Every structure is written in C-alpha cells, then in structure tokens.
Amino acid sequence: MDLNYRTNYKLIKNEIIQLIRNAIDEDLQGYGDITSKYIIPDSSISSAYIICKEKEGAVLCGIDIVKYVLEEINLSISFNKNKNDGDFLKYKEMVCNISGPTKDLLAAERTCLNFLQHLSGVATITSKFSKITSKYNIKIADTRKTKPGLRKIEKYAVFCGGGYNHRFGLFDGILIKDNHIIAAGGIKNAIEKVRPHIPHQLKIEIEVKNLNELKEAINSKADIIMLDNMSPKVMSEAVKKIRKSLPDCIIEASGNVSLETVEEICKTGVDIISCGFITHSAKAIDFSMEFT
Amino acid sequence: MDLNYRTNYKLIKNEIIQLIRNAIDEDLQGYGDITSKYIIPDSSISSAYIICKEKEGAVLCGIDIVKYVLEEINLSISFNKNKNDGDFLKYKEMVCNISGPTKDLLAAERTCLNFLQHLSGVATITSKFSKITSKYNIKIADTRKTKPGLRKIEKYAVFCGGGYNHRFGLFDGILIKDNHIIAAGGIKNAIEKVRPHIPHQLKIEIEVKNLNELKEAINSKADIIMLDNMSPKVMSEAVKKIRKSLPDCIIEASGNVSLETVEEICKTGVDIISCGFITHSAKAIDFSMEFT
Amino acid sequence: MDLNYRTNYKLIKNEIIQLIRNAIDEDLQGYGDITSKYIIPDSSISSAYIICKEKEGAVLCGIDIVKYVLEEINLSISFNKNKNDGDFLKYKEMVCNISGPTKDLLAAERTCLNFLQHLSGVATITSKFSKITSKYNIKIADTRKTKPGLRKIEKYAVFCGGGYNHRFGLFDGILIKDNHIIAAGGIKNAIEKVRPHIPHQLKIEIEVKNLNELKEAINSKADIIMLDNMSPKVMSEAVKKIRKSLPDCIIEASGNVSLETVEEICKTGVDIISCGFITHSAKAIDFSMEFT
Amino acid sequence: MDLNYRTNYKLIKNEIIQLIRNAIDEDLQGYGDITSKYIIPDSSISSAYIICKEKEGAVLCGIDIVKYVLEEINLSISFNKNKNDGDFLKYKEMVCNISGPTKDLLAAERTCLNFLQHLSGVATITSKFSKITSKYNIKIADTRKTKPGLRKIEKYAVFCGGGYNHRFGLFDGILIKDNHIIAAGGIKNAIEKVRPHIPHQLKIEIEVKNLNELKEAINSKADIIMLDNMSPKVMSEAVKKIRKSLPDCIIEASGNVSLETVEEICKTGVDIISCGFITHSAKAIDFSMEFT
Amino acid sequence: MDLNYRTNYKLIKNEIIQLIRNAIDEDLQGYGDITSKYIIPDSSISSAYIICKEKEGAVLCGIDIVKYVLEEINLSISFNKNKNDGDFLKYKEMVCNISGPTKDLLAAERTCLNFLQHLSGVATITSKFSKITSKYNIKIADTRKTKPGLRKIEKYAVFCGGGYNHRFGLFDGILIKDNHIIAAGGIKNAIEKVRPHIPHQLKIEIEVKNLNELKEAINSKADIIMLDNMSPKVMSEAVKKIRKSLPDCIIEASGNVSLETVEEICKTGVDIISCGFITHSAKAIDFSMEFT
Amino acid sequence: MDLNYRTNYKLIKNEIIQLIRNAIDEDLQGYGDITSKYIIPDSSISSAYIICKEKEGAVLCGIDIVKYVLEEINLSISFNKNKNDGDFLKYKEMVCNISGPTKDLLAAERTCLNFLQHLSGVATITSKFSKITSKYNIKIADTRKTKPGLRKIEKYAVFCGGGYNHRFGLFDGILIKDNHIIAAGGIKNAIEKVRPHIPHQLKIEIEVKNLNELKEAINSKADIIMLDNMSPKVMSEAVKKIRKSLPDCIIEASGNVSLETVEEICKTGVDIISCGFITHSAKAIDFSMEFT
C-alpha cells in the first residue's frame, strides 16, 4: 500500500506539493534556520533515521510524504524506507533512514515529523475501529469532518488504517439530510424532487432519525438509507424493515460512534458505519528523527 | 479578544483567506453541492445559528473565520456573533446567528464547523493547562509540533486558550538542541560559535538533558535554558543552580508534559512550560449549525 | 436561468474570475492598449450596447461573464442586461447596454465578445439538438470532449441550451469502457471487480458495442448501459432487450450523433443521447459592441 | 515545425504548463479516476497509439502538448512521435505511440485528445484558406477572436496551418478602428493625435469602411490600411488608389472572409487577409487513443 | 498625471497589487509586527503625513501606490493626497496625510516609503535629463536595464519625470543589435531576413557602431537607426547622412549618456536619447512619515 | 561564499525562482523575442561570456542567479562560473562562460545582466563601507530600506560585500522607535510594556535621539541602544555612558551614514553602524555578455 493509491504517482505528488511547501514555509521564512546557520558547517554530512516512539505501536501513514519533503529541501538527500504506509510499527521500529547535509536534515526534521505524527494518528485510530467492524464484514467510513485543507491526506490515512472513504465532498454524492427534508416538505417530496434531475450515475442516500422517517424513506425507494443517532435497539428494527422491503438498499449508521459503541452498532447488521472521530480527533503518534 | 490579535484585520484575513478557499474547494468541486441544487429553490432564505454541543463546555476559537467563510460563499449572508474568541461556552450556548440563501448556508456549513471544531479544540485543551500553570504564574507555551499548513491559526488558538506563543519557526529564535551540540562538539563550543554571528537582537536558548550539560550551559552563560525530559526532582535542582549562577536566565521545561504531570512541573519553579500535545492531539469540540 | 445555476453567485464567480483575468491578460500586457492611450482622452465617457448579429438568431450564454469582465476592468462601468442566459435572441437584438470611460469599454470589448460568441455558440447548437430530443422526452447530454480549461463554462452553456450535463470528469461517475473491459478480462469480470469497491453512492455504467456485449452487461446487472456506435436497428433491439430484463436500467446512446442522425436515434427509445459535437465543434455566434 | 516556434522549449512549456494542469484538474479531482482505480491493477502496463480518424485527413497541431500532458501525469511514460506539428495526416495515420502504466494512460487520454482535436481543427481550417491565398502570394492572418485563455496556442495552430499571426493583443500593434475615429473626430485627427506619441517602433494601421474614409487615410499617410467589409469591386478600386498614392502602404482585408469568398478577395490584390473564423469556429478533428 | 496613465485604474492596480503584497510580506511574516503588538493599544488611532526630506527637492512618483499599500493593510485608513505623481516637491513639502489605527500605520510605514523613495528617485533623475533634452525637442528614453520585477513601475516613474518609454520588452519592438548582425552575416542580410516575416505593424530598428555600418543600414532602408557609443563628432556626421538619404528615418542615440554628456549629444540633432542610468542607478529620495 | 548562504540550495532557489520568472516575463510576453525569431536560425549555437566593465572593479554578487535564469530559459545551456559571489572583479574580468542555442542566450541576456548589475552594485558599495568599519572591528549593517520585493537578495548582496544583516522585517526583532515611545508615554513605559510579553528569545532594542532619552533607556536596562542621528561628539559621550552603566548592552549607530562620515562614527566606539544607502541608492555595476 502506498500514497499512490488513487491513480498515479505524479498526480498525487502534484496535489500535496503545495501543502508540503506551505508547511516548510511556516518553519523557514526570513533568514531561515538561524540556529544551524552559525553552528553546522556547510560541509557537514549526517545520517539519521526516523523511529516510532509510541509504546503501543502504531499504523504508519505518510512515509512517501517524508520523501517529498526531503526532496523539496534538497534533492541530494538519500532516503530509504523500511516500512510502507499501512504497516504496523512496533515501539522503536525504524521507518526510514536518510543521509545528506546536516543543515538540510535539520531544516526538514520538524516538517517531516509533523506530517507523520498526524497521518499515522488517523491511520492508527482507524485501524482500531476497523479491527472490530471487519469481524462483522462491515466498513468503517470517514466523513467530511476533516481538518481544513487536509481532507485528501486524512482520507488517505483512513484508507491506510483499513477504513473506507465516503464521498469526498458535496459534489460527488447525493445525501439528503434533515435541512433538505424540511426545505422540500418531507422525505417523499425531497426524493421526488431529486430523482429526475440528479446525474444519472448517482444513487440517492437519505438520512432518517426515527422509524416514522424510515417508513417514508422506504416508501420512496431510497437507494441508501442512513440511520442517524438511533439506539442499537431501534437501529436493529430499522435494519430489519429495510432488508425486508428494499433488499438492494445499502444501510449506513452514523452518530455517537466510538470505540466503546461500535461493536454494538455492528451487531445491528448495517453495511457501513461512518465516524467523524477518526479524522477530527485522532491523537498524534510520536516519531523522532535520530542522528547516528 | 479576536482574531485580529497580531496586527490588524486585513493582514490576518489575507493570510487565512487561501486556507479558507482551499477548505471550501475540498467540499465544492465539479458541479458543486449536487444535493441542494435539486431540492432547495434558489429563492429560499433561511436563518440558522451555531451552537456548542460539548457537554462540559469549551473555549471558543474561530468565530471570525466563520464570518470569512460565509463572506467567501456569499457576501450577502448576514452574520452576528454572540461570543468572541477566548470566551467560555456552556453546553448548547449559541455562538452566532446567520441568515441568507438556504443553498449558501448549506454550502458553507461543513467548512465553518470544521474550522470551529478544530480551533476550539486547541483553545479548550490549552485553557485546561493554563488554569493550572497560571496559579504558579508560569506560562504554558506551544511548540512547532503543529498540523502542516495550520501553524498560524493553531498558535492563535493557543493564545485564545490563555497560552503563550513560543517561536513561530526556525527563523525567529535560536534554540540549540542535541544535534547542534553534537555537531559543534559540546555546549560550550556551540554557544561560542553562535554568539558572535547571531542577529544581535536574539538571545541564545540551549537545551540540556542532565546536570552535567546544565553545568556547561551555565558556564557558557546561556540566556535561556530548556530543561528537557528531566524528572521533577532533577528539574528542581537544576532550577536552583540556574537561579543562583544566572539570575537573569529564563528557564523552560519541556518533555512529557500532560494534564497529569504539569502541576508537578510547575512546582519546580520554571518560567515556561512548552507542550506539543495542545496543538498535535487536541480533541475536536462538537458544534452544530441549526436551522430555525 | 443565470450563471448562478450551480450553488451560488460568489462561488461561480470565484471559479471563472481567473479565466477572465487570463483572457484580459492575453489582450493587455506590456504598455496595454496603446492605440486608445493616445487617441481617447481619459475623461471621455461612452455608452454602448452589445447586439447579436446572427441572422438566424441564437441562444444567449455568457451575459453574466460580460458583467464580470467589465467589473474586472473598471468597477465604475454601469451594466444593464436586457436578456438572460438561455434566452433566444433575434437578429440585431440587444443583450445589454453599458456605459463608462471610453478607454475601459474599448479595453474590455474583445474579451467580452470572445466569451459571448463561444458560449452562445455552444448553447445554440445544443438547443437545436434539444428541440428534437425533447419531443421524445429524451435528454441530450454533453461529454468530456471540451476545450482545455473551459469545461465548466462549456457545460454551463450546454445547460443554457436545454441540454443535460453528464459527469464532470473521471472523478464523479463510473463508466466502464472498452479498455477497462480488456484489462479486466470481460464485462462480467469488470463489473464484479468494481461493485464491492466503488463509492456506495455511485451506479455502474458500462459501454457495449454489440449485442453480445450487451448480453453480458445485462447478466451482470449493470445500472446504466451505454450503446456505443450502434446502427439504429441494432440499437432498437438492444433497448428492447434491456427494458425486458432490467426495467430500472438507464440507457444512453453515443457515437455518430449529429443533427441529421439524432431523430432516428431518439426513435430507438433510449433515455439519454450524449454528443461531443455540441462542445468541441460549435460555431461561434456573431456579437458586436456598438457605441452610441 | 514544432511547438518551439517562438523562442525556445523551456519558455513555451512554462507558458502552457498551467493550461495543461488546469485541463488535467478538470478531469481528475476528489478521488480521481474512480473507474480505473477498481479495475486496472497498479502493475498493469500498456502500449497505445494515437490516430487521426478524420476521413478527409487533417493538419496536425499539438503533438508536443500531448507529450507534456503525459509527463505531467507520469514522467515514466514513454512517448514517440511519428508526426510533427504542421504535417498533413491521412485517415487512420498514427501520430505517436506511447507506453506506460495503464492507469496513467487512461487518466491522460481525454486531456491529450482534447488539445489535439481542437488545435488540429484550427490548423486544418487555416491550411484550407492558406492553400488558396498562397497562390496569390497573400497571407491569411488570424485575429483576436480567440477562445478565452487559449489565444497563444490557437495562434500557434494558425501558424502550423500555414497562416500568419496578426498582433497578439492590444499592446503590440496600433490599429485605429471606427470607435477611435469617432472619439478623435475623424481619421485625420486620429492619426495626428497618435503619430507623435506612439512607440517609435510601431506603424499606424487604420480601418476604413468606404472610399471616402480611404481618401482621408491616404491623405494622412497611414502606414497600413485595413479595408473592412468592402465588396470585391470596391476593394479593388481601393487597392488601386492606395498603390498609386502610398506605394509602401500595407493593405489588409477583413470582414466576411470565408472559404467561399476568399479567392475573390485575393483577386483584389491586397497583402493580407484576416479571418476570425479560423480561430473561433474551427470544427474539431477526430483523434482516438487505441490500446494494443 | 496619475498612476492610471496606461489604460485604467483597475488594470494598473491589479498589476501592482501582487508587488505590494510581496513587499508587505517581506516585512510582516510569522507573528507580524512584534514591537507594536505589545506597545500600541488596539484602540489607538493616529494621524500622520508623509513629507519629502530631500533638500534639493524631488519629483514625486508612487503616491497612488502608497494609497494601495494602506488599503491592503486596512481599508479603513483614510488617505488624502496633497500632490500628484509628476509634481515637483520642495524640501519638507507634505505629499499626503493619513489617519487610522496606529498599529496599521506603523505596519504600513516602511513599505509605503520604500516604494516612494525608489520611484521618486527614478522620476527625479529623469526630470534632470528631460530638462536638458526638451530644450532641443529631443526625447529622453528609458531602456530594458531595470530592476528585476520592477520594470513596469520604473518605466512609469520615467514617464512621471518627463521621459519617454522605449519598448517594454523583447516582444513589442524589433531592435537588431551586434549579435543579431553577426548571426545574420551583416546588416543587409539581417534586415532582409527580418523584413518579410515581422509583424506588419512593426518598424525595423538597427544599431550601428560606426559610419561603415551606418552606410549599410542606410542602404538597407532601416526605419530607425540607433547610433551606439559614437563620439559627438561622428554622431553629428551620421545624423547628417541619415537625414539626407532617409528623411523619414528616426534616429536614436545610446551609450555613455550622463548628465555631463547629454547636452552635447542633443546638439547632434538626434530624435531620441536612451539612457540606462535613470532606471538602474537612481539615488533614492528621502521621505518620512511623521506622526502628529 | 555562495548564494546558498542561508540554509541550503533548494530553499534559496525556490525563493527566488518566482522573482526570476517575473523578470523573464517582463521581457518575453506575447510572441516573445520577435527580433531573434526571424534572424537567428533555431539550429544556431553560440558561446559567450559575461565580463565586468567597471573601470574601478567591483564585488560580484548574483552569479548563481545567472545560472538559474539560464536554466529557466533552457536547461541545456552550459554554464561555468569563473568567479564566486563576494569575489573582487577587476576591469574586464570574466565572471562566467556559457554556451547554448543562440536564441536562448539572447533571450536570457538582459535578465541575467539586470540581476548582476544591481546586486553587484549593492555588494560593491557595501564593501567600501566594510573596508573602513572593519578596521575598527565594527559591523556595517543594512536596514529595511530595500527595493519592494527584492529585500532577500539585496540583503544577500550586503552579506557578499562584507556587511552584516540586521533584522529581516518587523517580525524578527524588537526595535522601539520614536512613535512607539510617544504611544507608550515615554521610554520607561515602553520598555516595561514590552518586557513581560515579548517572545522570550528576543532582546529589546530602543532608539534614542539625545542624552536625556539615553538616560531613560539606560535606567530601563535596554538590551540594545540605537543612537540615532547624533553628532560624533554626542555619540562618543553616549557610548561612554552606556559602557559604564550597561557593559553588556549592544550599541548601534544610525542616521546620516555615508562614506564621508562613517570613519568618524567608527571612532565613537559603537558596535554596529546601520546604513540605508547601501541598499536604496547603490549605483549599478556595468556587465556585458560578449559572444565569441
């Protein structure tokens, strides 16, 4: 598994290169690294490696971004990765070793680690959910609750952690929520307004909050039904009703999804569970660049 | 307290406007919001308000960014804020109310909330630290361990939570760390190499790991000494030694700083405690846009 | 009908403002409009109007872009539109009148007309197709065969001409074509490979060239079938087979679609006819800015 | 003849690289090519070639842009061109062959073809005019009636088709048109106002609509006279008058220039014929990427 | 005379806004103006004025840019100009007065003055040359020897100082110099190669170094002849020869042009004198922002 | 000494590449170099060298930028430098030789020379000051009085000329000037307001105009004192007072610094002399590209 999961190397790199440049720029403005400038000789060359310092281990994500950061700082830095994105890392396990001008390694250090610690944080928490849901053959999906500007790489981290990517934005999926329903005057009206006009390649997903709304959604033959914030008991009943009337309908659960609640939700028999926590509240994983 | 904490409104806005545009662009590409397009009439106007849904309350950060996001979507949306950045929010407290074309409010909703939930998360965790350290008249400071591209707004969130901003990047502060010391051949050498060349307006900060290194730092008359990863006992001893020999020296503690450990560190008598957790691992605060 | 057909004014404007600036920049580099500079006094004010000079009439598209171009040149130019995008224009009919500094009107003239002539060209040819297909309650759809960089506004022009917008790009619709089928080892394999992995909100469209391929597509329960380059006779047979076995399947015709052939294709009973000609080969509509 | 017709490779490439990136971006946003992602294995490698599918043949333009598009997608795609820009292509003639990762070829396919089909369309229609005018040793010139943002590459296509490039924009040529004449109070006044102030390296071109205006232009010693929308008979008379009084004056014909009328215009003896049709209304040439 | 000398306000402003933003950004990165932040209250409002501190006086240039800089910092700053670009300023004369938030005036101060001091420097030295050459009815022209990125505003400053703008770049004027002549194999060959191909709206300028080259240039009927680095005596002779054989030919002098030599060059009777010194070596004019 | 003086090659290059592109773009818009296009064959290859034509010699600065400009024009141009930035050049000394397509060398010529002539101008005047101040072991420092957008490369030129770089902008140094003092209500108040809030890594510099202000600055224990516009006699007295009361205080002189006055200022015993002239009024150094 590598960063190149979408289509190809060059495209992905183009997309994140601006992100990388902005991150480097935050650290190196004005006169640049003013500490190293006066201490480290231009001719000094060093080797270093990056290790995971998380006692419980972690799922790696961002190793190719580390490479791009280094390339952006100095093309002559050598880089060898020992692990790939998606790999599980044990405590103190080495993820890559690098060598090049000491000044350049120090200039790149924090930016490399900041990408790694955040993305591996997202991948690691996702993998914890995925370990549970996969036993039930259920997908754990991300949401649009991402950090501003980091959606693409956070969704990649979800993928690396074994998660499933929900729609990218408002433009590539129809999801009728409460405010749409109110505006349209009910679920039935909403679906009837949408059906003749949507891109013919898209299905219609509708969010329901209770069994009354569910009934209307079933009658309107929704293609996908999202059960929002239901108790496990109600959700089980909802799943049964849908399976009976609309056997091809995909069922998604959302709301109040945590490591404590997810297994109970799995037992209701839904197809997909979506969860904002894995992107908006992931704890960073501790990495460190050690010089040899 | 407002976003305009640095110099002035226009500059701050210019700086984050690209961030806002990128965030909007993640959500609205291709044909844009394809759900609302077919359901919500162009003429539909709505009012809505944003509330905090965190049971324990939270410190608000990002309310002016919400305004800019709305302006970016449609200048005609009206916006009134009920709370300012830095204010404490109780559960279900309203932070602003807005009104405008329904389609535009829906197009802006997720982007607004994504900024709010992250920045308020940083401000809230910072305020928890600050409540403890301020009793001891000690500053809780951020680090360079920020999300790529979000450093400036995350450091603003730290400020809103009552924290203190450490150097912005490698360019505006001298901090001699272990790798510099190795490269220079010892603490004394490092400081002597730096002193004649650094910008004359900067002090020299040096990181020490034990009492041996401390001794060398004191002998070299460092302006600021960072005590890194010391036990409270050793740290107390270090503080005493510094106060005795270098009464003007500023003392910073770092490493292993958590809500559990911070009070003990305060008791050692340092001046500043720096902490990566508040920017790299803050849990998001739950906000919601409710239509009326 | 106006340019604001997607979501809202500000977003659409942001998207095309760079396009407008590039177009202005092509005309005005170096010392700018060197002819007017020496002839037209700075204080000269003029009124002008834009008229359609197409003898057969045309469908208007781009009138709001004209407004944006003028704003970009000088915010003080007044602009009143007499017609909206999608309106039919008779020969010599006025579409807008404007007034402002003469130099500014002359600087803006060509850029305004270049947008108008191209977009109205696309809308006009689309409306000719649409007039035929709508009699049969069939949609005439665009393709991805657009001018580089102009896809969004060309698809908007198709919409103004009464056409239907197919997927925007490779990212918002699944369409399995011959090369995918070869790579996957047959239609059945292709669909089976795709089904478990695609975003759950998307349907599967597959392109078939003959009745053998069609059979396989039907057996694999494709959601949408595109009949590519079939004779009307074969197409009619194909439509019958699909309606019988897959009543919910959407049928699209493509290939060799012209004003001469389109009615015959309509008679086969397909749902959608897609056509590259309307975007890649539309003849420009003649407009002129007349000073009063 | 190649794209590098202006000055050099790197400059031209820099200029169109943004155009290429925008075009790729139209096709590949969000999750990218979602069809190939699930069907084509990452390891699959293909060869393909691009052929001209125009029965009457065509003049090639844009082959180097195809190369740049491929480079932009993946630097490792191999590319060999069999034809150069300006070459005449017979039906089914191959213009280049390429090989590389199948996913990357499919991601690049439409963008490559969209450039080729449009630019070759402009080159081909230009060559039809040029075949006629060159018999009379007359130049067929383009105008500023180009697609927004595509002026440079469309003018390059005109050049490839054997045409002559008129001024690039308002900044590199003086052309006094009707509105300038009105503003200046007559042709004589206009020329007298311009002459002392224009860059000394520029000639003065003036547009005249009839023999009265011509007389004034001749008396004012215009360097270049454009005969606008005159009948062949009047135009012939105008040419004679100019040749007699101003032997060094260059004569340009414009207005109502089509493949039907151009030969008659040639017979009037003008030097240059300018024509908007070749850039604003060129029909696309059909190309196809065939996998082997 | 104002900045809007080319075509119009908005265009000029767009062109230099990026320049202004870059200049502001050089001064205000990271945490911004860290001195004022802690001293000046947010609520503090000040008035200030900008005065010329050059004892000999100066020609003003850049006053509208000052306005744009202030707008860029804070739209609410009020600005009134007392002088226009091109005006002569006496010692201590006020050029504008401004008022607004003190922090914002201080943030803008250096950027405003840096534009003013440089552009007024160029305008002032130009006016000294112009005072001499205008007695002889000769134009003093700039060259392409400008500061990187500042060409447009430096040429505007030349214009404000009473100078004449030569071609903007390599793209809007034909100038055949020594290296072209060598490559073409002589002056005659060079001109003959160029004449049939150049844009028909351009004249041909050729640089000659001595009377032999001049002879060839005259024989080839150059439209403009540049006499490069000739002694006044030789130059006088050259002028006579040209006037005799090519009465319509424009004569330009260049090389070794200084305030000491320019009058002697004027006496040779050339039409235009071009001079690099006025843009590449102008001394800055002293301005100061005084708070009241 | 080379351009890579800050941290590393890639960073420096990224920073100035946009500057280089803008400079090239000023010269080559529209149809590009229209003179060479018609005279120089595409196949023509030339060698050339750049020499210093300053009779008194000069200090070189910008040689690596020449290389980047050439790379930007055509990667295949070969470039060998004979001198490094900071080297002293004698009259007619060669700084580099280059070879490549003649058209490309001519397209790059002016941009290369414009960088060289300006930066070497700054380095050369700086070295004249430095030769004097270094005898007294005093640093000659630059100011923020730079050309808009060129601050970084001008400060690099100061460094090449043996000068010392003062703060880069308002963001990396505290300097309390007259307007701050007024706003704060006196020097003592200003320093007391600043001290508890500034980044702990920064010293406080204060500007004083006379001995009264000096007294207050000394009492407030300023870290750095700038003596502004004092006569040598007063300055000497000020230095003595400071050395006596604040032995660690750094003393900077500014105001009215010229080659005539600088030695007298040195004799007062200050540590640093800052001077705007070296960046805002440096005379260009004459360079020329000679073809062989």
Do F148 and F72 lie in a common domain? no
Do B123 and B21 lie in a common domain? yes
Distance between CA atoms of residues B175 and B207, nearest Å: 7
Of B188-202, C209-223, F11-25, where does the model show the most confidence? C209-223
**Which of these ranges, A29-38, C210-219, D63-72, F261-270, has the smallest mean pLDDT?**
A29-38
Express the helix, strand and coil content of chain C in percent, nearest 5 each. 45, 20, 35
Closest CA to B253 of B237, B273, B235: B273
Question: What mean pLDDT is reported for chain E?
Answer: 92
Per residue in D86-116, pLDDT tens? 999 999 999 999 999 999 999 999 999 999 9
Do E137 and E264 lie in a common domain? yes
Residue with tokens 């005799």: E244
Per residue in F164-217, pLDDT tens? 999 999 989 999 998 899 888 899 999 998 888 888 999 999 999 999 999 999
Residues in chain C closer than 8 A to B109 (CB atoms)? none
- List the single best residue of E152, E201, E202 to mutate versus D (max D Cβ within 10 A): E201
Q: Is the pLDDT at C52 greater than 50, yes or no?
A: yes
The beta-carbon neighbor of E10 closest among C29, C33, C75 is C75
Residues D202, E200: C-beta atoms closer than 8 Å: no
Chain A residue closest to C252 (CA)?
Answer: A200
The beta-carbon neighbor of E203 closest among D168, D202, D272 is D202
CATH code of residue B43: 3.90.1170.20
**Which of these ranges, A19-28, C49-58, C227-236, D260-269, has the smallest mean pLDDT?**
A19-28
Residue A4 maps to a domain: no
Residues in chain D closer than 8 A to B29 (CB atoms)? 29-30
Do B66 and B154 lie in a common domain? no
Residues A24, F11: C-beta atoms closer than 8 Å: yes
Residues in chain F closer than 8 A to B171 (CB atoms)? 168, 172
The beta-carbon neighbor of F38 closest among E26, E150, E198 is E198
Residue F2 maps to a domain: no
Beta bridge partners of F99: F47, F78
List strands edge to edge, sheet with A94-101: A78-81, A94-101, A45-52, A287-291
Distance between CA atoms of residues A193 and A187, nearest Å: 10
Do D110 and D166 lie in a common domain? no
In this prediction, residue C8 has a pLDDT band, given cuts at 50, 70 and 90, of very low
Q: What is the pLDDT of residue F12?
A: 64
Residues in chain B closer than 8 A to E74 (CB atoms)? 8-10
Residues B8, E107: C-beta atoms closer than 8 Å: yes
* Residue C71 CB coordination number (10 Å): 17
Q: Is the pLDDT at C3 greater than 70, yes or no?
A: no
**Which of these ranges, A35-44, D93-102, E267-276, F267-276, has the smallest mean pLDDT?**
A35-44
Residues B201, F252: C-beta atoms closer than 8 Å: no
Interface residue ranges in chain F relative to chain B, Cβ cutoff 8 Å: 165-168, 171-175, 199-203, 205, 223-224, 250, 252, 271-272
Beta bridge partners of C67: none
Residue B175 maps to a domain: yes
Q: For residue F178, what are the contacts with CB-CB under 8 A and spacing of at least 6? A: F207, F209
Q: Is the pLDDT at B4 greater than 50, yes or no?
A: no
C110 is catalytic: yes
Question: What mean pLDDT is reported for chain F?
Answer: 92
- Write down which chains contact chain A via at least 3 CB pairs under 8 A: B, C, D, E, F
Residues in chain F closer than 8 A to A74 (CB atoms)? 8-10
Interface residue ranges in chain E relative to chain D, Cβ cutoff 8 Å: 165-168, 171-175, 199-203, 205, 223-224, 250, 252, 271-272
Chain D residue closest to F25 (CA)?
Answer: D11
CATH code of residue D141: 3.20.20.70
Over residues E156-180, the mean pLDDT reads 92
* Residue A162, phi-psi category: left (phi > 0), alpha (psi -120 to 50), beta (remainder): left
Q: What is the largest CA-CA distance in chain F?
A: 74
Q: What is the pLDDT of residue F175?
A: 96
Do A137 and A228 lie in a common domain? yes
Q: Is A59 helix (H, G, I), strand (E, B) or coil?
A: strand
In this prediction, residue A11 has a pLDDT band, given cuts at 50, 70 and 90, of low
Q: What is the pLDDT of residue E2?
A: 47
The whole domain housing E93 covers 13-128+282-291
Residue F3 maps to a domain: no
* Residue A45 CB coordination number (10 Å): 12
Q: Is the pLDDT at C160 greater than 90, yes or no?
A: yes
Do A145 and A200 lie in a common domain? yes
Burial (CB count within 10 angstroms: exposed 0-12, middle 13-18, buried 19+), residue E214: buried
Do C135 and C274 lie in a common domain? yes
Residues B33, C7: C-beta atoms closer than 8 Å: yes
What are the phi and psi torsion angles at B110 (to 5°)?
-65, -40
- Helices marked H in C98-205: 102-133, 151-160, 178-184, 187-194
Residue C2 maps to a domain: no
Distance between CA atoms of residues F36 and F121, nearest Å: 30
Tell me how many residue pairs between chain D and chain E have CB atoms under 8 A apart: 54
D177 is catalytic: yes
- Write down which chains contact chain F via at least 3 CB pairs under 8 A: A, B, C, D, E
Residues in chain E closer than 8 A to B171 (CB atoms)? 30
Residue E2 maps to a domain: no
Interface residue ranges in chain C relative to chain F, Cβ cutoff 8 Å: 29-30
Residues in chain F closer than 8 A to C32 (CB atoms)? none
Residues B35, A170: C-beta atoms closer than 8 Å: yes
Q: Strand A94-101 and strand A45-52: pairing?
A: antiparallel
Taking the C-alpha atoms of E146, E152, E156 and E157 in order, what is their torsion angle to the nearest 10 degrees?
A: -40
Of A129-133, B68-72, B152-156, where does the model show the most confidence? A129-133
Residue C194 maps to a domain: yes
Q: Is the pLDDT at A271 greater than 90, yes or no?
A: yes
Q: What is the pLDDT of residue D11?
A: 53
Distance between CA atoms of residues C173 and C274, nearest Å: 15
Tell me how many residue pairs between chain A and chain B have CB atoms under 8 A apart: 207
* Residue D229 CB coordination number (10 Å): 14
Per residue in D135-194, pLDDT tens? 999 999 999 999 999 999 999 999 999 999 999 999 899 999 988 998 888 999 999 988
Do C152 and C171 lie in a common domain? yes
What are the phi and psi torsion angles at A243 (to 5°)?
-55, -35
- Helices marked H in C185-255: 187-194, 211-219, 232-245
Residues in chain F closer than 8 A to B199 (CB atoms)? 165-167, 172-173
Over residues F81-101, the mean pLDDT reads 96
Q: Determine what percent of chain F is predicted with pLDDT higher than 90.
A: 78
Taking the C-alpha atoms of E213, E217, E220 and E222 in order, what is their torsion angle to the nearest 10 degrees?
A: 160
Per residue in B11-39, pLDDT tens? 566 678 889 989 998 998 888 888 998 88
What are the angstrom distances between the C-alpha of F29 and each of C17, D6, D7?
21, 11, 11
- List the single best residue of D73, D76, D109 to mutate versus A (max A Cβ within 10 A): D73
Do E121 and E144 lie in a common domain? no
Do E24 and E87 lie in a common domain? yes
A206-232 CB burial, b ≥16 within 10 A, e <16? bbbbeeebbebbbebebbbbbbbebee
E207 is catalytic: yes
What are the phi and psi torsion angles at C191 (to 5°)?
-65, -40
What are the angstrom distances between the C-alpha of C112 and each of C10, C65, C70, C287?
20, 8, 8, 10
Residue E32 maps to a domain: yes
Q: What is the pLDDT of residue D29?
A: 84
Distance between CA atoms of residues C229 and D288, nearest Å: 14
Per residue in F123-153, pLDDT tens? 999 999 999 999 999 999 999 999 999 999 9
The beta-carbon neighbor of D151 closest among C26, C146, C175 is C26
**Which of these ranges, B180-194, D140-154, E227-241, has the smallest mean pLDDT?**
B180-194
Q: Is the pLDDT at B183 greater than 70, yes or no?
A: yes
The beta-carbon neighbor of E250 closest among D200, D224, D271 is D200
- Helices marked H in A54-101: 63-73
- List the single best residue of F200, F226, F273 to mutate versus B (max B Cβ within 10 A): F200
Q: Is D206 helix (H, G, I), strand (E, B) or coil?
A: strand
Contact F141, F166 (CB under 8 A): yes
- List the single best residue of C17, C21, C28 to mutate versus E (max E Cβ within 10 A): C28
Over residues E150-154, the mean pLDDT reads 93
The beta-carbon neighbor of A194 closest among B26, B39, B283 is B39
Contact F202, E34 (CB under 8 A): yes
Distance between CA atoms of residues A283 and A277, nearest Å: 10
Spacing of C-alpha A238 from chain mean position: 28
B248 is catalytic: no
Residues in chain A closer than 8 A to E30 (CB atoms)? 29-30
Distance between CA atoms of residues A128 and A124, nearest Å: 7
**Which of these ranges, C147-161, C188-202, D242-256, E87-101, has the smallest mean pLDDT?**
C188-202
B271 is catalytic: no
ipTM of the prediction: 0.94
Distance between CA atoms of residues B114 and B27, nearest Å: 11
Beta-strand ranges (E) seen in D53-203 are: 58-59, 78-81, 88-89, 94-101, 139-141, 174-176
Q: Determine what percent of chain B is predicted with pLDDT higher than 70.
A: 95
Distance between CA atoms of residues D61 and D155, nearest Å: 11
Distance between CA atoms of residues E288 and B134, nearest Å: 44
Spacing of C-alpha F145 from chain mean position: 10
Distance between CA atoms of residues F52 and B175, nearest Å: 42
What are the phi and psi torsion angles at A198 (to 5°)?
-65, 155
Residue with tokens 């009615």: C263
Q: Determine what percent of chain E is predicted with pLDDT higher than 70.
A: 95
Residues D167, E199: C-beta atoms closer than 8 Å: yes
Contact D60, D87 (CB under 8 A): yes
Distance between CA atoms of residues E98 and E28, nearest Å: 21
Q: Total structural domains in chain B?
A: 2
Do C174 and C249 lie in a common domain? yes
Beta-strand ranges (E) seen in chain D are: 45-52, 58-59, 78-81, 88-89, 94-101, 139-141, 174-176, 204-208, 224-228, 250-254, 272-274, 287-291
Structure tokens, F143: 């100011």
Structure tokens, E23: 């200049």
Chain E residue closest to C74 (CA)?
Answer: E10
